[in-house]
Copies of this chain bind each other. A is one copy, B any other.
Amino acid sequence: MPNRTVYFVSDGTGITAETFGNSILAQFPGKPRHVRRPFVDTAEKAHQVVHEINQTSEAEGRRAIVFATLVNREVLQVVREHCKALVLDMFNTFIEPLEEEFQVKSNHRVGRFSDVARSQEYHDRIEAINFSLAHDDGQSAKNLESADVILVGVSRSGKTPTSLYLAMQHGIKAANYPLIPEDFERSKIPSMLEPHKRKCFGLTIDPERLSQIRNERRPGSKYADLMNCRYEVNEAEAMMKRNGISWLSSTHKSIEEIATTILRDIRPDRLIY
C-alpha cells in the first residue's frame, strides 16, 4: 500500500485508535503512512483535520483511511459528513449493542484517561514505576518483600524494559536482579533472592543474539564474546532450573508479550480486576 495514508483521529489522546488501527492494519500487507491527530475536540479543529485529510486523499489519488475514536457528537458529525475518506467509526459501532445489552445510554465522555490522574489505580502505577526504578539491576535489596515480581537473568536479557513495562502498564512492582559470573562460580542464586524464589521469573536469551546486543555496548569485550555468552546463558538456565524458577526466552518476544506471559504464569490475579 504505497501512497496511502491512515489517520487516527480522536478527541482524546488517540492511543486507542492507534493501538486498534495498527492491529487491524497488521492483517494487511504493506505499510501505509500513519498520522495521529489527537485532541480534536471542537468542530473547528474537526474542520481543520478534515481539510488536511481531503488534501491528502486528493494528492495521493486514493482516499485516506480514518480510524476515528470520537465521543464528541458534533466532531464526529463533521468528520462523517465532510471527509473524503473511508471513515471507520470505532466507538459507535460497538456502543449501540452495548447500550442495548446494558439497557442504559452511554455518557459520551471523552477519553479513558480523563480524571485518572487522581485515581488510586493511577497512583499505584506511578508508585510501581518508582519502585521498579529503585530496584533496577539489583540496586537495592530493600523492600524486596513488597515486590510483586522479581525478574532474574543475565545482563542484557531484557529485564529492565520488561520491569518498567510491567510497572507502567499494570502497576506491578517489578524488581529485577542480574545473574552474574560470580553467582555461577558459587553455583548459588544471590542470597537476597533466596527468600523470594516464589516470585522470581527468569528471562533467558539466545546466546548469539545476546553476544550481538552486548557487542553494541562493549565491542570485542569478553562480556560480549560468544563463548562467554553461551557459558552465562547455560549457567543461568541451570541455576533457574535447580531453583524451580520458571523462565522464558526473550529472543523473539516483545516486552508486551513477555509481560503478558509473566502475568499469566505468576500473577494471574492481575489479569482480573
Contacts and interface: CB of A to CB of B under 8 A. Distances in A.
Interface of A: 1, 12-16, 19-20, 22-29, 33-39, 63, 65, 69, 71, 86, 88, 90-91, 93-95, 97-98, 101-102, 104, 106-109, 111-113, 115-118, 122, 125-126, 129-130, 133, 136, 160-161, 164-165, 168, 250-257, 260-261, 264, 271-273
Given A98-B65, A272-B34, A272-B35, A27 B252 contact: no
Contact of A112 (B13, B22, B97, B272): B22
B104 A35 contact: no
B165 A13 contact: no
Given A13-B260, A86-B97, A93-B94, 6 more contacts: A14-B260, A19-B20, A24-B91, A28-B106, A29-B104, A39-B264
Most buried by B among A39, A118, A255: A255
11 contacts: A27-B95, A27-B98, A27-B106, A27-B107, A27-B108, A28-B98, A88-B98, A93-B93, A115-B252, A133-B136, A168-B255
Q: How many copies does the complex hold?
A: 2
Contacts of A107: 27-29
Contacts of A35: 271-272
A71 B27 CA distance: 9
Contacts of A253: 113, 117
A37 to B, nearest CB: 7
A130 B20 CA distance: 27
Contacts of A37: 271
